A and B are shown apart, each in its own frame.
Chain A
Amino acid sequence: MEIQQVKYDNKIVKYFTFATLTWGIVGMLVGLIAALQLAFPEFFNDYLGFRYISFGRIRPLHTNAVIFAFVGNGVFTGIYYSLQRLLKTRMWSDKLSYINFWGWQFIILCAALTLPFGITTSKEYAELEWWIDILIAVMWVVFGWNMFATILVRRVKHLYVAIWFYIATFVTVAILHIFNSFELPISMFKSYSWYAGVQDALVQWWYGHNAVAFFLTTPFLGLMYYFVPKAANRPVYSYRLSIIHFWSLIFIYIWAGPHHLLYTSLPDWAQSLGVVFSIMLIAPSWGGMLNGLLTLRGAWDRVRDDVMLKFMVVALTCYGMVTFEGPLLSLKSVNMISHFTDWTIAHVHVGGLGWNGMFIFGMIYWLIPRLFRTTIYSRKLANQHFWIATLGIILYAVPMYIAGFQQGLMWQDFNPDGTLVYKDFLETVSSMRPYYILRSIGGGLFIIGALMMIYNIFKTVRAGSFLAEEIVEVPVLAHATKGSKEYWHRGIEGKPVKFMIISIIVVAIGGLAEIIPTMAVKSNIPTISSVKPYTPLELEGRDLYIREGCNNCHSQMVRPLRFETTRYGDYSKAGETVYDHPFLWGSKRTGPDLAREGGLRSNGWHYDHMIRPKTLSPGSIMPAYTWMREDDLNTAYLQAKINAMRKMGVPYKKGFEFKALKDLKAQAHLIATDIVENMPKIGLNGQSKEAKIKEIETKEIVAMIAYLQRIGTDIKVKPSLK
């Protein structure tokens, strides 16, 4: 038997570990700032009203930083460590490993340098602009290429279950990212989604849901199948279950996306399909969780002493809770209450803080002493971190659950005479304040825990000596002989390429089932003849709406429910958003829905409200958008925008792009005149009316008002279904 020496690359693992910790703190801090903005809006509006940290801009920064920077680097840490050991092979190419590392960090930097400046596509968890999307795709391929090449030159015959999850992660994230990112660039910093309205919504949530599935779940299940047996020093509870777990999970997950669009204008059958598969998802999810927890059978006494196992147990328990809750939330009756409320925020944070966060912490506590050949600096501190983090999760999640439930019920509360009890949306927002404060404390505790960990890791690293190249001796792979004794799954897992192709097919079945409707619905959407493309000024206003991230707090989707139509007006139709590239239905109502906002209030009201929300809505937590009154509207790309829209099927007449600017100025003048005519004298500031009109007609705020006044007005005219 020939023996070979293998050197595992620990340096790349170290790099990713440090990046995970660094970005973890950054992402969580941004989240804390966002949480504090909702808890103490006066402070932020009066003293820290910078545009770059307004809620609509930093909420996507928080989600992107946590998902792709913290969790992403954490996933790479675990995969680069376990893959080499499970395959008894060093990563195929060091160069690719480090391109992957630095490329990923560069992408994160790009995200941090674009999102606060309002450079965003507005699509949730895919906010980054087109060229960053391309970079992500390239870096993902670099990672996959390196992983696959390593698998191909491995020194073991079989691919352990963890690696199947890594492969599924790679393949599916690539598909999701590419399909969701079809966009038409206007400039370096602006692009439009290729899809519009219902189709855009469906593709987005097919992506959004499965990003959770294949970026936040499958890689962690793979890591669970490696690190939990390692830490417990016993094999996985049931290998058979792991096979069923894997195939069922990747088969079912991909179908469930439409449950994010219940009661919207997505066709009903697609919603139902999403619900059915979401319910079915409980089975494989719990199969996986139980497989992880039961691996600890007979080793529970060690959970008391081993801090890493403690983190793992809480992580798996949170995973169990979240995957039980998810299907419940996809039931229409539950979703009616939970959707658009903080319940969703509670749900994702049990997943994010509990499952992903605690898992990563546990994994790093286990890895660092091994990489640095020492013991952890302070077990006591690590234990304290565990408890403070657990407490943080509870303090975060419980108030948010209550908040969501309460607000959801308040929205649908009717008086006996058929009027709404909480007619003013603001009342329901104000009652959330105590919960927002508690949530900030919970999040703060979680960050304090993470900082304690960083100190602990820092001291451990200082005390230890880093093992950059871990040398082991392994036998050369004996070639498999094909015989009748081989069982089927061994046949697949021995052949990674075949395995990958089967995985793609399994994932594609569900993917196609959602893409077919996407194509089919185009002709099924009843076109509404009164729905017309946006005017140039409205189009520019819509882009400002996207830039400021208004969709993070305001939905544009009135569900066909009595309490919604009473509050907002006619429910939203699929045909209304056919020209919306991208769709702006939103997923959270921190503020009221805007789908029927157009024409409800005067231009002057909007003008004042955007600049001083509190004067018109006392107690409002909306940021003041003072800069929109000061900054001139940039119309440099207007022609390109009209052309791009036409290319995507929006029926602007040929040659319209040349008169668009004139059209824009005329509409701006009308709105500005209306505002000034109705302005109290004090607003004129001693200027003549003409001078004031001239001053504001070129400003951004006029475009914003034009758009707000347009939303949902098309079918207020005379709807005629074709």
Chain B
Amino acid sequence: MLRYIKHHLATEEGVQWYGMFSLFVFVIFFLVVLIRITRMRKATIDELSAIPLSDDEPITKLVDNENL
């Protein structure tokens, strides 16, 4: 494994491939996160973003309505 990587790092073309690969990994990862986030429901988002504000009235706001 390491020998394979080293082999590529030794040449200029190989090094280029290494940088491109790193960028691709991130772009794909980023797109996956982005797509999945756009598919989140508004109601869940509101519920989640209210978590820190629920300290003051712990009893009423904490209940997970979906599961009651």
Contacts and interface: CB of A to CB of B under 8 A. Distances in A.
Interface of A: 1, 3, 82, 85-86, 88, 155-158, 160-162, 225-226, 229-230, 233-236, 239-240, 243-244, 247-248, 251-252, 255, 269, 272-273, 276-277, 280, 472-475, 478-481, 485, 487-490, 506, 509, 513, 516-517, 519-520, 523-524
Nearest to A480: B67
Q: Is the interface of B mostly helix, strand, loop or mixed?
A: helix
A236 B44 contact: no
Contact of A487 (B6, B30, B44, B67): B44
A461 B65 CA distance: 40
Given A273-B22, A276-B19, A520-B5, A475 B59 contact: yes
Given A160-B48, A243-B37, A489-B36, A475 B26 contact: no
Contact of B52 (A160, A475, A478): A160
Interface in B16-68: 18-19, 22-23, 25-26, 29-30, 33-34, 36-41, 44-46, 48-53, 55, 58-59, 62-64, 66-68
16 contacts: A162-B52, A229-B53, A240-B40, A243-B33, A244-B34, A252-B26, A269-B9, A269-B19, A273-B18, A273-B19, A276-B19, A481-B67, A488-B36, A489-B36, A516-B5, A520-B6
B64 A478 contact: yes
A517 to B, nearest CB: 7
Contacts of B18: 269, 273
A556 to B, nearest CB: 26
A474 B59 contact: yes
Nearest to A483: B66
A313 B43 CA distance: 29
A478 B62 CA distance: 10
A76 to B, nearest CB: 19
Contacts of A161: 48
B58 A1 contact: no
A474 B51 CA distance: 13
Contacts of A239: 45, 48-49
Contacts of B67: 478-481
Q: Is the interface of A mostly helix, strand, loop or mixed?
A: helix
Interface size for chain B: under 10, 10 to 19, 20 to 34, or 35 or more residues?
35 or more
B40 A489 contact: yes
A524 B5 CA distance: 12
Contacts of A506: 29
B58 A276 contact: no
B39 A520 contact: no
Pick the most buried of B25, B38, B52: most chain A CB atoms within 10 A of its CB: B52
Given A86-B51, A485-B66, A513 B22 contact: yes
Contacts of A513: 22
Given A251-B26, A520-B2, A156 B51 contact: yes
Contact of A478 (B2, B23, B36, B68): B68
B9 A517 contact: yes
Contact of A516 (B2, B19, B38, B58): B2
Nearest to A241: B37
A160 B6 contact: no
